[in-house]
Structure 1
């Protein structure tokens, strides 16, 4: 297989000389060209475009000056437009030039990786997957414009489906009041749930995961902190309304055994997939989600938690690594057309203030989290800090960012002995 095509590069340059307006439509940059002379010619064409000068042979030769000999001389430049009299295939030729460039950069990266092979095979796998994603992202980025009619027809189809199926416009959470603020978790969104340790992040995530499973979604649950057995203990306790300690220690009453059996039966009917391998790289997570998406089109992803994900390669700082991870999670939501919900830790800065309610600046190793996230919800329990509070067992879900809706606070009851979250109005039901 050839990693370049001189003839195709000549066709692109010749088309621009024949039809100068094409320089304003091109998707290429000089680095896309393999031939050194072609890179010089195209670079000058782009500079002429910036100065709004017409791209024609005489001006181009004048701009090249002494370097005209390096590109093949005046005769070679003149031959470009003469050899390719048709510009109808310009877009096709452009695409070929770019594809050849992507092949070359991929091979170069593989050679560099070969020369500096990591000692750890997992790091090697992460590097290879990262390279694959970079090239894949560039290929997918070529979508271009779509007429509004097409988008409107899709919108009508979606609205009809929602009307017929009675479905919400996104994945519902366990909180009715929270759904009213966020508008549910939409497809292609990154949603961050953040809190200090021991406030209830993991329990909240598990409640929402089983809610999504009960609503018919396929759930991908990545637990980088706790093993599967501990998650199952908590999920069974919440579903069966059983004291979590009794489930953990296998000390169940007769009534609790009945509810345990019912809880297991209910969970078994849900389409939930758990990955509890620690130290997962973002590349491994993206690969696993893509694989699941192929078999189950309607998925939702939960991750516990963001700061435990490994970037898969070396970064100048931890903040840059976390920023790369949050950006990758957002891309994962887009490419798999699904909501992604990631837990995040908050810094100790919360503890230094009189009002302990979290703020954006409390996001630990925030990087680009605030920028990438579509929604950011903080969990806050007043009884965590104030034993005399009137809000015993009340958790505040503080929606601090909502790209497509409002912000505000929704209160829920935290039934801690079960690890269960319920709406305020249903706490006695």
Structure 2
């Protein structure tokens, strides 16, 4: 006999009030009046220091309203080009009850007299913003708790949970107390000296692709690079991406693959094909011999231990990518983010548009990816389709100009590489007459370019450009170093 389910009921106001009182008590622990007063004192004592915090600290970040309004008044005076001092502040608070409650004009004079030059105004600002974020998080958690326990209508818990996750992610990625704006060249030179000192460590942390000639040109992929890998369909972009993620995973580096075109299962099949040589068509068609099935299961178990994560959500936006990577970073470092492929992403601002401008949308996406790479401090490898216009050229090797119809990809990218396999075009140009001289010439050409691929580094913000020649095994779906002249690892 099934037990009766008691429907959720709206609680009495006393129960909700008790819950809110507990949250209010927690929020009081996130108030630091002495820090907020010290910041106002610092501004009144050295008004020129306001510029160092004005971009990262807002009046609403203060926990004490009167102090927040004082800070806002200081901002208004600075914007008007007026001197900041206690007398200039007084007119802002002539009829302000909040200021009267804490001592009125005497309180402002008291704060001005407490200035000591030893304090760091930027550190005060960081603490104030941090406390604000804590209070906002508690408020969001409180609202979600009430919505989950006492819903207005009975609905799945996913809705309030999703709302809570969104608010917490927004808090995590915004209002970061970090100075912005112009800074002295001396500050940049100090940063450069630290950059030089970190050189050996940075080189160790650079991601190699496992393709020796390519790694020689690039010197590794470093954070926060945005790397664009462009090619026409059928060249093997996704295969090369899987090669890179597999290579770095075997070295303990964690990758996240956002696959907008294929399902997670299809991506997994690509990894299996590389290790076993079993065609994906055979896997899909269920025609894999029993002996291969057992070997594939073993390989699948081995691959399962690699630090590679796959997200196959369609209609991905940059904001969604940013939030999901940020969430993963809470569980451990993320070393590489891959997008397959960029043109299948969507820009939030263009969603629902009846006549979206794709060039503008792709530009917004590439700008967003570059900003995400910088904010997350992780390299992003984004695959990109190229226009079929290059097919009309005699030499079909891609050029940077082939990207210029795709918004600002070329400008935003730190590295632009193209994948080219002449073998693809040779196969399309087989003469109908298999007896003539033209067929003999075609056979020689096809043999010369068989299993050969070129990775053309057309832009490298950090160094050289050039062409890396590698071997492509289409049957197994893998790239590897050319054996000639290379004695290293064949991965």
TM-score, normalized by length of structure 1? 0.72
1:179 to partner: Cα distance: 0.9
Does 2:262 match 1:204?
A: no
Aligned 1:18-417 pairs, distance under 5 A:
18-23=45-50, 25-28=52-55, 32=59, 39=72, 42-46=75-79, 48=81, 72=94, 80-81=108-109, 83-88=111-116, 91=121, 94-95=125-126, 136-140=172-176, 142=178, 151=194, 155=198, 158=201, 168-252=204-288, 256=292, 260=296, 263-297=299-333, 299-314=335-350, 317-363=357-403, 366-386=406-426, 387=429, 388=442, 389=445, 390-417=448-475
Listed one character per residue, the Cα deviations across residues 98-124 of structure 1 (whole Å, up to 9, x for unaligned) are 6799899999xxxxxxxxxxxxxx999
Q: SS where residue 181 of structure 1 aligns? A: helix
Kindly provide the CA deviation profile for residues 197-253 of structure 1, in whole angstroms up to 9, marking residues without a partner as x.
122111111222222222222232221111223222222111123344334434345
Alignment CA distance shift 1:77-1:328 (3 Å): farther
Change (3 A) 1:356 1:8: same
Distance 1:211 1:380 in 2: 21
Work out whether residues 400 and 410 of structure 2, in 8 Å CA contact, stay in contact via their aligned partners in 1.
Answer: yes
Q: Contact 2:390–2:396 at 8 Å: present in 1 too?
A: yes
The aligned residue for residue 115 of structure 1 is: none
CA gap 1:78/1:25 in 2 versus in 1, 3 angstroms:
farther
Distance 1:218 1:24, change over 3 A: closer
Distance 1:141 1:378, change over 3 A: farther
Matching residue within 414, 418, 425 for 2:483: 425
1:381–1:395 contact (8 Å) kept in structure 2: yes
Conservation of the 8 A alpha-carbon contact between 1:129 and 1:283: no
CA distance in 2, matches of 1:187, 1:29: 24
Are 1:237 and 1:247, in contact at CA under 8 Å, matched by a contact in 2?
A: no
When residues 174 and 94 of structure 1 are mapped into structure 2, their CA distance, relative to the original with a 3 A threshold, is closer
C-alpha distance in 1 between matches for 2:192 and 2:404:
43
**What CA distance in whole angstroms lies between the structure 1 residues aligned with 2:53 and 2:291?**
71
Distance 2:317 2:366 in 1: 12
Structure 1 unaligned segments of length 5 or more: list them: 62-67, 108-121, 163-167
CA deviation string 1:250-292 (max 9, x = no partner):
4345775576456435423423222223223333333332333
Structure 1 residues 295-316: Cα deviation after superposition (integer angstroms, max 9, x where no partner): 3325322221122223344468
Deviation for aligned residue 1:176:
1.3
Unaligned runs of 5+ in 2: 1-26, 96-103, 140-157, 181-186, 430-441
Which sits farther off after the overlay, 244-253 or 24-33? Answer: 24-33
Aligned length: 399
- Asked whether the equivalents of residues 32 and 101 of structure 1 are also in contact (C-alpha less than 8 Å), the reply is no
Alpha-carbon contact 2:40-2:111 (below 8 Å) kept: no
Question: 3-state DSSP class of the match of 2:234?
Answer: coil
The structure having more radius of gyration, on CA atoms, is 2
Change (3 A) 1:256 1:352: same
